[in-house]
Amino acid sequence: MNSGAPAVERWLAWRYLATRQREGFVSFIAIFSLIGVALGVATLIVVLSVMGGFREMLIGRILGINGHVVVTARDGMLQATPDLLAALRAASGVKAVRPVLERQALVSANGQTRGALLRGVRTEDLTAGDLLRGKLVLGSLAEFGNKPGVVMGDRLRQMLNLRPGDTITIVTHKLNENGTIAPRYADFEVLASFLTGRYEFDNSLVFLPLPMLQEELEQNDLAVSSINLELADLNAAGRVAEELRRSLGRGDLKIADWLSLNTRFVGALQVERVMMFIILTLIILVAAMNVVASFTMLVRVKRGSIAILRTMGAAPRTIVRAFFMSAAAVGVAGTIAGTALGLLVCANMPAITDFLALVTGSGAVAELHFVTSMPVRVQASEVVAIIVIAIALSLAAAAYPAWRSTKVEPVEGLRYE
């Protein structure tokens, strides 16, 4: 008898799920409950994956030109001595060490003048590194460092109406012996332009060879504004920064990781991610409540059948399990369908993005394309968490109708049959 009990419970659960004329409305609600669970799970997977992709792209654009760990002097200019560079390069996880010299300036060409941020970098850091890889729009880096030339943001180049080979005048300042400030002019050739998709870089950043900018600013060949460290794992930036503080033991240096430098920005992304997860989980919760409502109604409709089973000797736990299995099946099936739908949408997001860009006409503008491109980063841990939560809510929703079935008394159930 016990060996056949599970088969009986599965058969009863299937019968309760089967559409009958009398219970058609209940089955209709159950079907839409399944669809609701599926759409909730799919929405949660797609939204969190897109938000993860945006976060990765934003961080990549912030760190594509800046370092994962930044070393600066607490006062004045930093002296990038060979010993300091060697100590930084020897730290665990450090992939590249880039001395950088920055100065605000004016750039002028064709009767136009704009503010710019000059950034002096070593030739090998710009030409052989990842700073501008895949971001060049016009020109080439082949002559960078060999002659007085600059590489500038493409928006700035357009505002000044320049092309590679044209001349640009950079206006800096110097301090005279009598304490007055005098402008200093220097002409450079435009070698290339880049487009990162980030406005503040494309609109104002100008790269120069580090020795040339040091000479222009009358600084020695070791003077830099900061030293940027590129790490193999950007998530280890905090640990590497702390290790460098301990190993170097220099109070004149300030060592900061990218998380501390962008605390508000990263914190806002994290809060938005958590709140979106909570809000979208409510969709699954609402669908689970529909499962409760539909199967509670089914228990009332099936009072006569439950009473007959009880009078025939069926144990209460058999009926409870049957109702629990039927209600849980709706939630589990919805979770599986929603997971498949969400992953399918994520896999085809580029095609969806292209279609939306074609309809809205926003793909031609780089800044808008960054917003509308909808990058996707599916994390297995998030998908598993969503599946676990959806199934847990579904099982919790199935428990109440199953418990209600034990409250049906055989006499009351047969009274109106």
pTM of the prediction? 0.65
3-state class (DSSP) for residue 57: helix
Adjacent-strand bridge partners of 174: 182
Find the Cα–Cα–Cα–Cα dihedral 352, 357, 360, 366, rounded to 10°: 150
Q: In whole angstroms, give the CA distance from residue 153 to residue 263.
A: 26
Residue 362: the pLDDT is 53
Eight-state DSSP code of residue 235? G
Domain edge (last residue) among 224, 255, 274: 224
Q: In whole angstroms, give the CA distance from residue 278 to residue 259.
A: 24
Backbone angles phi, psi at 107, to 5 degrees: -120, 140
Both 284 and 202 in one domain: the answer is no
Both 205 and 289 in one domain: the answer is no
Residue 339: the pLDDT is 93
Q: In whole angstroms, give the CA distance from residue 230 to residue 194.
A: 20
Question: Count of CB atoms within 10 A of residue 264's CB?
Answer: 7
**Domain for residue 316, yes or no?**
yes
In the block, residue with structure tokens 């950079």: 170
Q: In whole angstroms, give the CA distance from residue 104 to residue 144.
A: 21
Both 271 and 173 in one domain: the answer is no
In the block, residue with structure tokens 């990263």: 266
Both 50 and 85 in one domain: the answer is no
Q: Which residues of the chain have pLDDT under 70?
A: 1-29, 61-64, 129-130, 179, 295, 297-320, 356-357, 359-373, 400-417
Q: What are 135's two structure tokens?
A: 């971001």
Residue 2: the pLDDT is 45
Residues 6+ apart with CB under 8 A from 72: 78, 225, 226, 227, 253, 254, 256
Domain edge (last residue) among 191, 208, 224: 224
Both 156 and 206 in one domain: the answer is yes
Domain that holds residue 132: 78-224
Phi-psi region of 87 (alpha: psi -120 to 50; beta: other; left: phi over 0): alpha
Q: Among residues 147, 148, 141, 102, which one has the least CA distance to residue 124?
A: 141
Both 153 and 123 in one domain: the answer is yes
Adjacent-strand bridge partners of 30: none
Both 270 and 361 in one domain: the answer is yes
Both 104 and 209 in one domain: the answer is yes
Residue 317: the pLDDT is 66
Q: What are 295's two structure tokens?
A: 């199967």
